[in-house]
Amino acid sequence: MIKLTQLATAVAMVVAANAAMAGEVEVLHWWTAGGEAKSAAELKKIMQSKGHTWKDFAVAGGGGDNAMTVLKSRVVAGNPPAAAQIKGPAIQEWASEGVLANLDSVAKAEKWDSLLPKVVADVMKYKGNYVAAPVNVHRVNWMWANAAVLKKAGVAGAPKTWDEFFAAAEKVKKAGLIPVAHGGQNWQDFTTFESVALGVGGAGFYNDAFVKLDKKALTSATMSKALETFRKVKSYTDAAAPGRDWNLATAMVIQEKAAFQFMGDWAKGEFTAANKVPGKDYICAAAPGTANAFTFNVDSFAMFKLKDAAAQKAQADLAAAIMGTEFQEVFNLNKGSIPVRLNMDMAKFDDCAKLSSKDFVATSKAGGLVPSIAHEMAVPPAVSGAMKDAVSQFWNNDKMSVADGVKSIAKAAATK
């Protein structure tokens, strides 16, 4: 029979072995709103259950511009975090600087190639090697509506076309409520604009203008129509919109002060955190004219090269956890997005997530699946940054002509 002292020694050895490989992961992200913070906390919990220490590096600011500025200064100072929320073409830019770690051994062991849609896997790789791990698929072309407000205003259900939308907005205004909850920050203006352009011009136009940056599309009559429609949406926002954070705009819809918000499904994280039920308290519908399209926004963590062996182990465990079924389910239930890992059980997800999941697959087959330019999935950050500013200049200046707006956005798109 094993003696108690021997048992104690064995236990001590196991604990020591675990402790030796327990490391710290410092994770940079911008998930500070209610639903976002809950989601990030789930990842922290999983890492702690593996014995690692989570060092939270949260930089507030929707859309992530502030976080990216802080990240640059940390990397330049030679002190990068283990992981940072970096998306789309920016992953390639960071990798080309030679600062990202190779995640191939984790990816191979966990079979990422067979668990991810190819369009997503390609974005996570640099020169064929994984350098980032994806967490979710957000859909950007959503319109959120408060059911009670629509009822009060006499609007029967979510409008499907822009004409229907403006008719509904008029009714809400007449009922003394705010038709569109908006936060006047450049990334929110751009988020609304890409949905309007998608609805006005369709996925083919969107792709030409915002992915291929085709000059003809950017200066077309369709683009003028998109800007006119965008300006008309602004006329239904309230005077306090400038500078407002996106989650405060969502709160206006939750609290029955406003009818609609154009925002990606991280907004659903706020409804969920407020215990609101889709189909009953609120409605999720594709932005007018965009039901057959899907603007995708995949959040991901790029991993930086680290020297310390325990930190490297913690980093590899983080990468594996992110793609694991446990995390993919619990994180996305809170975040409002859908799992990026294929063949996940969607039983616990709500109807909005189920619709998103169905539309993601359908549009990837039929051709309406397009990357979100406002959320850094379509073009390099320098280009989207310049376009974002041009769109906001138009939004903020009612005296700027549509023709000048078109010109300045096309000029910004030509940024090298």
Which lies closer to ligand BGC via its Cβ, residue 130 or residue 266?
Answer: 266
| Composition of the chain by helix, strand, coil, percent to 5 | 55, 15, 30
Q: Which ranges constitute the DSSP H helices of 159-291?
A: 162-174, 186-206, 215-218, 221-234, 246-254, 266-273
Rounded to a whole number of angstroms, the minimum distance from the CB of residue 63 to ligand BGC is: 5
Which lies closer to ligand BGC via its Cβ, residue 92 or residue 219?
Answer: 92
What are the structure tokens assigned to 87, written together?
A: 């998306």
Q: Cα(first)–Cα(last) distance of the chain, in Å?
A: 74
Rounded to a whole number of angstroms, the minimum distance from the CB of residue 123 to ligand BGC is: 13
Q: Which of residues 336-375 bind ligand BGC (CB under 6 A)?
A: 375
- Collect all residues with Cβ–Cβ distance below 8 Å to 129 and sequence separation of at least 6: 102, 103, 104
User: Does residue 26 touch ligand BGC according to CB under 6 A?
Assistant: no
What does the alpha-carbon distance between residue 293 and residue 287 come to, in Å, rounded to a whole number? 10
Q: Which of residues 297-316 bind ligand BGC (CB under 6 A)?
A: 297, 299
Rounded to a whole number of angstroms, the minimum distance from the CB of residue 378 to ligand BGC is: 13
Which lies closer to ligand BGC via its Cβ, residue 26 or residue 299?
Answer: 299
C-beta separation of 90 from 375 below 8 A: no
Q: Which of residues 137-156 bind ligand BGC (CB under 6 A)?
A: 138
User: Does residue 63 touch ligand BGC according to CB under 6 A?
Assistant: yes
For ligand BGC, the binding residue among 23, 62, 117, 179 (CB under 6 A) is: 62
Query: Near ligand BGC by CB under 6 A, which window of 60-68, 169-177, 253-261, 357-365?
Result: 60-68
* Residue at shortest CB range from ligand BGC: 266
Rounded to a whole number of angstroms, the minimum distance from the CB of residue 142 to ligand BGC is: 12
User: Does residue 134 touch ligand BGC according to CB under 6 A?
Assistant: no
Rounded to a whole number of angstroms, the minimum distance from the CB of residue 32 to ligand BGC is: 8
CA distances from 399 to 329, 403, 404 (A): 47, 11, 10
Rg (alpha carbons) of the chain, rounded to whole number? 23
User: Does residue 331 touch ligand BGC according to CB under 6 A?
Assistant: no
What does the alpha-carbon distance between residue 193 and residue 380 come to, in Å, rounded to a whole number? 18
Site string for ligand BGC, 243-272 (x = CB under 6 A): -----------------------x------
Which amino acid type is present at position 17? Answer: A
Rounded to a whole number of angstroms, the minimum distance from the CB of residue 138 to ligand BGC is: 5
What does the alpha-carbon distance between residue 273 and residue 36 come to, in Å, rounded to a whole number? 9
User: Does residue 30 touch ligand BGC according to CB under 6 A?
Assistant: yes
C-beta separation of 297 from 370 below 8 A: no
Query: Near ligand BGC by CB under 6 A, which window of 49-57, 59-67, 234-242, 301-309?
Result: 59-67
What does the alpha-carbon distance between residue 86 and residue 416 come to, in Å, rounded to a whole number? 21
CA distances from 144 to 181, 265, 289, 349 (A): 10, 9, 15, 17
